Structure 1
Amino acid sequence: MSVPLSPVLLESRVIAVLRAADASFLRPAAEMLAEEGVRSFEVTLTTAGGVDAIADLAGSLGPDAEVGAGTVLTVEDLEAVLAAGARYVVTPHTDPGLIRAAVRRGVPIVPGGLTPTELRTGWAAGASAVKLFPASAVGPRYVKDLHGPFPGMPVIPSGGVDRASAGEWIRVGCPAVSLGGPLLGDALAGGDLGELRLRAREVVKGVAEAAAEVSGG
């Protein structure tokens, strides 16, 4: 049985993927994003000092935000990020054993896949949702096609989701979208946080409008 996605993510519908050469830039960027309504943060383990960065953000962003871990490849990675305070985990691949390990620990997990077989395998193993990666290879219509045979499978696109198209993924039934570079830009390399604020507003507005259309609001 899967662990549900958090209300924080289901309300905000945007995951900010934080991947940086220098983890010191993560907190200012995350705090800015949180002010604009992006409240779910995936710190990738390809970030130098990623586990420590998870602990830092988990302790600083407060209860209205959640910090997760990305690029989790092994059970050892899983244990390390949970000890640091990660509230969900994301993988770039489909590993049923790792999914079951997360479920046993009561943590949401979103494994990556591209083909129907990979995505369904992750969902059947107990994933909270599946990550369509790289989403740029297929586009939003692919999710509609997947929901033909797999109507109950939540799909979160990642890899190539841009600001302009974020809402389209919500319109085809995705519970959330995952954005890295198109949202963060150069903010994780010491770039302009004012520009980051504007990008965040664009994404949040587009996703909120799409969600309202889907719900009929």
Structure 2
Amino acid sequence: MLNVGLTGGIAAGKSAVARQLAELGAVLIDADAIARAVVEPGTPGLAAVVAAFGPGILTADGALDRPALGALVFKDTAAREKLNSIVHPLVRAEAARLREAAPADAVIVQDIPLLVETGQGQDFDVVLVVAAPLQERLRRMARDRGMNEADALARISAQAADAERAAVADILIENSGTVEELRDRVNEVWESLDVKSRAESKHAR
């Protein structure tokens, strides 16, 4: 089994890399998807978030109002840290459960947007970082998410700097070119991960 941590700044292309790795055979554990699941209506996670931030972060039907919560936490470091202290332990526990259920020879890719910010780099056999130039990321955020530059920069500044991610990367994928170039690079990376996983599995026997 090979445990790979996948991360990258917003709009760098991490999700596209994650999808391709899953298509190639990786067992994908998506931290964002888990983070949404652990605060669904009726969960202890949502109850804890409401206790911390008040009922104003709920929609009329009792679900989490993500835009309202996002507006609170992205501009307030203390609020963001409080939210993370609630959600991150729940996400890690579920990720661990999924990891334990995977086949012994699997390449497990954990897609974790805040891997660097939460100090999880040392938890993985390989850390894979997807990067793209700032102006390209801003362009994608305007095109794909309808965000203005000020809001996009606020989101980017709330995350680790590119240099901080690069410092923990075992493999860096530069995503500044075409879709085809990205696919070719991910294919190369997958081959190296697959070889490493087979070697680890053989050694474990």
Instruction: State whether TM-score is above 0.5.
Output: no
Larger radius of gyration: 2
By relative contact order (CA 8 Å, sep 6+), the higher-ranking structure is: 2
The structure carrying a bigger helix percent of its residues is 2
Structure-1-length-normalised TM-score? 0.34
